[in-house]
Amino acid sequence: MLTAFARAFKTPDLRKKLLFTLGIMVLFRLGAHVPVPGVDYRNVQMCMDQTKSGQGLFGLVNMFSGGALLQITIFALGIMPYITASIILQLLTVVIPRLEALKKEGQSGQAKITQYTRYLTVALAILQGTGLVATARSGALFGGCTVGNQIVPNQSIFTTVVMVITMTAGTALIMWLGELITDRGIGNGMSILMFTSIAAGFPSSLWAIKLQGSLMGGWLEFSLVILCGLAMVALVVFVEQAQRRIPVQYAKRMIGRRSYGGTSTYIPLKVNQAGVIPVIFASSLLYIPALLVQFTGSKAGWANWINANLVKGDHPIYMATYFLLIVFFAFFYVAISFNPEEVADNMKKYGGFIPGIRAGRPTAEYLSYVLNRITWPGSLYLGLIALVPTVALVTLNANQNFPFGGTSILIIVGVGLETVKQIESQLQQRNYEGFLR
């Protein structure tokens, strides 16, 4: 692998792409440390040292921004608005006929959907930026901080507008940087920036676990976390690569004097067909009750019940709800992202069939049956992986510092595998031996 990596840098055009991608990643991380105008940076750092309360509520967005959210920098919103916009457009494609028609138009239709995604990203960035500024001004971003309400000293409308515009522009810049990596780098620009944000927090989180440890100067807990992380990476790689291959044969067709078809291929159905989307959906949905209580300030019975059961991640009700939501959203997302009837119709149109299954409706029913069966282990796997930080809280008291959480490890491994495959394919085009032998 190291030899192949060295050969990749010896290839001029591939070396240029790798260096360009690394340069964009460095620029992206630098932007995550530039404060937004109007923010008292010293008070922000003081609050981050005093309390970790903000991380429980805004932990998901803070992770995707590489820690920039709680520092209120120009990249505070990170890539989260783009992820949300992409998911919304993907869901609306199933509902709105116009978007479904654009999806079927090929490259031109996909370019139009990408344009809609950009507009929606900017709109969501304005909305989320306004919410973040309002939360910071009220002091709720760091609930246990003594100077939490002094993070934004000047609370005029002009200052608020400047802060929102700055964070929205930061999100638009991130979107542009991701597209630059896709066009001029090694591809998958948004995924690589997401990988960079999450990986940036690993060293500090691991060292914090070492400092908090009590056995052998913290090195025992540190070693256990590393071993646990390696085991999780191996499990995620195994499941992410697992797939059910459904054989498909195409009948021979005579067009003029030429014969077409007669080939055999397969439909790859991944065990984890939904990816990390169910975990994001479940996490976001569980944040809503806590946000509702925080912004209403209610002391009623329902608010006390939410604070007692749905805020602390180690509570059994929270864990059970989180697990069930992940399983539900796994089936939900697979149902809207993979249409067995459409696949069966396309196969029938081009003369394809599954051996032993009649074309048309029986094929669609068979695909739906197989998809439901492999989604069960995939959804259970996602739920178990997502609960790892909670288990770490109970055993190592390292909930916020545990780096190998469900969402982070799924994204890190998934993006890493995809990037290695892309570099390998470019090496093979130049008759070089790739990473995966």
End-to-end CA distance of the chain: 9
pTM: 0.79
Q: Count how many Cα atoms sit within 13 Å of the Cα of residue 167 in the half-sphere of its side chain.
A: 33
Mean pLDDT of 239-248: 87
Tell me which residue of 319, 311, 287, 285 sits closest to 391, measured CA to CA: 319
Question: Predicted confidence band at 215 (pLDDT cuts at 50, 70, 90)?
Answer: low
The CATH superfamily of 242-402 is: SecY subunit domain (1.10.3370.10)
pLDDT band at 386; cut points 50, 70, 90: confident
Which of 307-319 are b and which e, b meaning 16 or more Cβ less than 10 Å from the residue's Cβ?
Answer: beebbebeeeebb
Q: Give per-residue pLDDT as tens, 104-116.
A: 787 888 888 889 9
For residues 112 and 150, give the distance between their C-alpha atoms in angstroms, rounded to a whole number: 44
**How many whole angstroms separate alpha carbon 256 and alpha carbon 260?**
10
Q: Tell me the per-residue pLDDT of 335-355, one tens digit each, with 9 for 90 and over.
A: 888 888 888 888 888 778 888
CATH 1.10.3370.10 in the chain, residues? Answer: 19-190, 242-402
Closest CA to 407 of 296, 316, 284, 299: 284
Which helix or strand (DSSP H or E) is residue 265 part of? strand 264-270
- DSSP class per residue in 88-147: HHHHHHHH-HHHHHHHHTTHHHHHHHHHHHHHHHHHHHHHHHHHHHHHHHHT-TTTT-TT
Q: Which residue has the tokens 């990037």?
A: 419
Q: For residues 306 and 289, is the Cβ–Cβ distance under 8 A? A: yes
pLDDT at 54: 42
Higher-scoring residue by pLDDT: 306, 159: 159
Cα 217 to chain centroid distance, Å, stands at: 34
Between CA 371 and CA 151 the distance in angstroms is 50
CA dihedral angle for residue 37, residue 139, residue 79, residue 241, rounded to 10 degrees:
150
Average pLDDT on 424-432 reads 70
Closest CA to 172 of 215, 226, 211, 124: 124
| pLDDT band of 401, cuts 50, 70, 90 | low
By mean pLDDT, which of 54-68, 83-97, 155-169, 246-260 is the weakest?
54-68
Give the percent of the chain with pLDDT over 70: 81
Highest mean pLDDT among 258-262, 267-271, 386-390: 267-271
Q: Please, are residues 55 and 49 in contact by the beta-carbon 8 Å criterion?
A: no
Q: Which of 18-27, 139-148, 314-323, 426-435 reaches the highest mean pLDDT?
A: 18-27
Under a CB-based contact definition with an 8 Å cutoff, are residues 329 and 282 in contact? yes
Between 414 and 58, the more confident residue is: 414
More confident residue, 208 or 256: 208
| 3-state DSSP assignment of residue 288 | helix
Query: Hey, what CATH class is 19-190 in?
Result: mainly alpha
Average pLDDT over residues 295-323: 76
pLDDT band at 261 (very low <50, low <70, confident <90, very high): low
Average pLDDT, the chain: 80
The amino acid present at 43, given as its one-letter code, is N
**To which H or E segment does residue 308 belong?**
helix 301-309
